[in-house]
Amino acid sequence: MHEVTVCDSLLDLAEETARKHNASCIKSIKIRVGEISGVVPELLQHAFDICSKERTMTNRARLIIQRVKPKALCKQCGTEFSPDDFVFICPGCGSPDTKLLQGDELVLDKLELEVEDV
Amino acid sequence: MCEECGCGEANEVEVEVEQDILSENNRYAAHNREHLDKHGVFCVELLSSPGSGKTTLLEAVIGSDPGLNISVVEGDIETQRDAERVRAAGADAFQLTTGGACHLDAKLVHGAFHHIDLEKTDLLFIENVGNLVCPAAFKLGAHQRWVLLSVPEGDDKPGKYPRAFREASVLVITKTDLIEHMDFDPDKAEREALSLNPYLKVFRVSAKTGQGIPELVQYLKQGVLSKKA
């Protein structure tokens, strides 16, 4: 259950960014969660529902989670493939020498802010 | 804005952030790494499920008298027990207790650095909270992450906890003295781990019989030397 820690970090980062933009509140927080990031989106949402209410900047904010499927690249033959069931062996040439292109990310993508007229 | 009640026209804006959610932790981890490099300390993080023998492995390494100054940052939910064990074996140790949290983070570890004499340390171990899931997401600043898999846990664990094995640089199969009593195929465990991470260096050790400990200590010494160069 490290989702609470991840959620706190997300709220800190969102709040800090919103302040830099002179926002009065955050309307929505859009994030990307890789399917092999180790974070369970449902648990993160649950943590968000509780933790976001404790901060005035985020207490009306909506969390939008975009899940990202893992994609890998074979360093030997250049085949791009989906490492289903965490098998990171290239389906093209059988090499295990592969690089993860996406799927382990935890990224704050966009914020929708309410900014008061100056 | 209306001066009476604060209501009024508000503009809605969309802001692109595109930043790692754990960037604050990553910043602390990078800072920890700078500290280690400044003092020429080689640092290894140990990650595994509870009871797979992290502290026992440390006792065996320290007890083998490798001629290195070893310090340990111990991470547990509660108690000072592991730090006491490591001190009794002959190393300097500082215990972090998370009070319930399932993992260490880089900021906590940074606090522990202030209680360890890095100037007098050649090799620093950070023993994470026993857990194969949550700690994997948090970088601490160590040069290498070692994942331990003990024979009684079963040879099917790498595939079940892929992130821990994918992001490690060393796999230590521990308690090999129990293989004859268990349905554990070390070759299968190794194959499965290597299919997740072909760059893994694998050791098979028994802290009880001492099997594999000299090879592992030799590897640690190479790491220490690389930081002194």
Helix (H/G/I), strand (E/B), else coil: B198: coil
pLDDT given for residue A116 in this prediction: 79
A86/B159 Cβ within 8 A = yes
A112/B14 Cβ within 8 A = yes
Contact with chain B for residue A35, Cβ under 8 A: no
**Whether B142 contacts B173, CB under 8 Å:** no
Greatest pairwise CA separation for chain B in angstroms: 81
Task: HSE, CB side, 13 Å, CA atoms: give it for residue A44.
Answer: 26
Q: Give pLDDT tens digits for B33-56.
A: 999 999 999 999 999 999 999 999
pTM of the model as a whole: 0.91
Best of B7, B9, B18, B21 to disrupt the A interface (most A CBs within 10 Å) is: B21
Residue A106 or B4, more confident: A106
On chain B, the residues whose CB falls within 8 A of the CB of A5 are 101, 103, 105, 138
**Whether B105 contacts B28, CB under 8 Å:** yes
DSSP assigned state of B72 = E
Give residue A3's Cα distance to chain centre. 11
pLDDT given for residue B1 in this prediction: 47
Q: Is the dihedral of CA A105, A36, B102, A1 positive or negative?
A: positive
Q: What percent of chain B has pLDDT over 70?
A: 96
Residue A7 to chain B, least CA–CA distance (Å): 9
Q: Is the ipTM of this complex over 0.90?
A: yes
What is the three-state SS of chain A? CCHHHHHHHHHHHHHHHHHHCCEEEEEEEEEEEECCCCCCHHHHHHHHHHHHHHCCCCCCCEEEEEEECCEEEECCCCCEECCHHHCCCCCCCCCCCEEEEECCCEEEEEEEEEEECC
Tokens of A1: 């259950």
Q: Which CATH superfamily is domain B23-228 in?
A: P-loop containing nucleotide triphosphate hydrolases (3.40.50.300)
Domains and CATH numbers, chain A: 3-69+103-115 (3.30.2320.50)
Check pLDDT > 80 for residue B13: yes
pLDDT given for residue A36 in this prediction: 87
Check pLDDT > 90 for residue B195: no
Residue B209 or B198, more confident: B209
pLDDT given for residue A118 in this prediction: 59
Tokens of B87: 């001190």
Contact with chain A for residue B103, Cβ under 8 A: yes
A38/B133 Cβ within 8 A = yes
* pLDDT band at residue B8 under the 50/70/90 scheme: low
Q: Which residue has the tokens 């730090």?
A: B83
Check pLDDT > 70 for residue B182: yes
- The predicted model gives B65-86 an average pLDDT of 95
pLDDT given for residue A74 in this prediction: 95
Contact with chain A for residue B188, Cβ under 8 A: no
- The predicted model gives B98-112 an average pLDDT of 94
Contact with chain B for residue A97, Cβ under 8 A: yes
Question: How far apart (Å, rounded) are the C-alpha atoms in residues A47 and A54?
Answer: 11
Measured between its terminal Cα atoms, the distance across chain A in Å is 42
Burial class (CB in 10 A: 0-12, 13-18, 19+), B208: middle
A88/B197 Cβ within 8 A = yes
Contact with chain B for residue A44, Cβ under 8 A: no
Lowest average pLDDT, out of A80-89, B108-117, B190-199, goes to A80-89
- The predicted model gives B115-136 an average pLDDT of 95
Helix (H/G/I), strand (E/B), else coil: B220: helix
Residue A79 to chain B, least CA–CA distance (Å): 17
A17/B15 Cβ within 8 A = yes
**Whether B44 contacts B146, CB under 8 Å:** yes
Mean pLDDT, chain B, integer: 94
On chain A, the residues whose CB falls within 8 A of the CB of B138 are 2, 5
Helix (H/G/I), strand (E/B), else coil: A31: strand
Question: How far apart (Å, rounded) are the C-alpha atoms in residues B64 and B145?
Answer: 21
B10/A36 Cβ within 8 A = no
Tens-digit pLDDT profile for chain A (118 aa)?
699 999 999 999 999 999 999 999 999 999 999 998 989 999 999 999 999 999 999 999 999 999 999 999 999 999 999 987 778 889 999 988 889 999 999 999 999 999 976 5
Q: Where are the domains of chain B?
A: 23-228
Provide the chain A residues 45-64 that lie in CB contact (below 8 A) with chain B: none
